Amino acid sequence: MKRRSTLLGGAAGLVSLLTVSGCQAPPQQLNGVSLSIAPDAPALVPARQLGLTLADLPDGFRLSEELAPSFSRTGMEDPFGRLSAYSATFAAPPGLPPIGGPPGDVVSSVNSYAGAEHARRAFAAWQAALPRAYRPVTADLGLAQEDSATFVQDRACMVGFRHRNVFASIWVACQPASPESTGAATQLAARYARLLVKRIDSGVR
C-alpha cells in the first residue's frame, strides 16, 4: 500500500510539474483561421475586400485611381479562372521626402481565382512578364519561397505573392531614387503584403 501511494504521489507531482512548466495544448488557429482548414482553402470574399485601403497607409495619401473589372461567378470567361479583381493607386503626399524617408505612390492589386492552381499559374505568368529592369531581392512575407517574389528597380519595389486562391501584388515607388529609399520601399511593400495575407486568411470560411 505504501509503494502504491508513493507511485500515485509521484504521478501527481509529474502532472503538477508539467502544468507549472507551461505545457499547453497546441494552438488551434493561425491568423484567425482554424489549422484544420486546408492550406489552399479558398478565400470566399471579393478582391476589393482584400486590397489595401487608405486606412492602411500613412496620413496624407489619397486614392487617385481604382479598377474593379467584372467577371463571371465561375471564372470561366477568364483564361486564368479569375473571379474578381481590384486595383487601387494611392498618391503620396506632395513634396519630396528626405532620402530614406517615406516612399512614394503605392499600388495594390488583388486577383481572386476559382482555385489555388489558377492563382499559381497567374503568379507564374506575372513573374515571367516583369520587365528586365526589375531585379530580384529577398523579403520575408511569411510564405513559402515558391509563393512569393520581390523585385526592385531604381525607382520602385514590386512584391507579388500567391496565397490560397489569390494572387496579389504591391508596388511602392522610391522617392527620391536612392539605395536607402529602395530599402525603405521594400520593407514597406513586404509589410503591406503580410497585411494582405492575413486579410486573405480572414476570408476563409
The CATH code of the domain that includes 90 is 3.40.1000
Residue 4: inside a domain, yes or no? no
pLDDT digits (tens, 9 = 90+) for 136-155: 999 999 999 999 999 999 88
Grid coordinates representing 6 are: 508513493
Domain span holding position 69: 31-202
Residue 137: inside a domain, yes or no? yes
Low-confidence winner among 3-7, 11-15, 33-37, 153-157 (lowest mean pLDDT): 11-15
How many domains does the structure of the chain reveal? 1
pLDDT at 34 over 80: no
pTM equals 0.79
Residue 12: inside a domain, yes or no? no
Distance CA 143, CA 134 (A): 21
| pLDDT given for residue 22 in this prediction | 41
pLDDT digits (tens, 9 = 90+) for 54-84: 999 988 899 999 999 888 777 667 888 899 9
Residue 6: inside a domain, yes or no? no
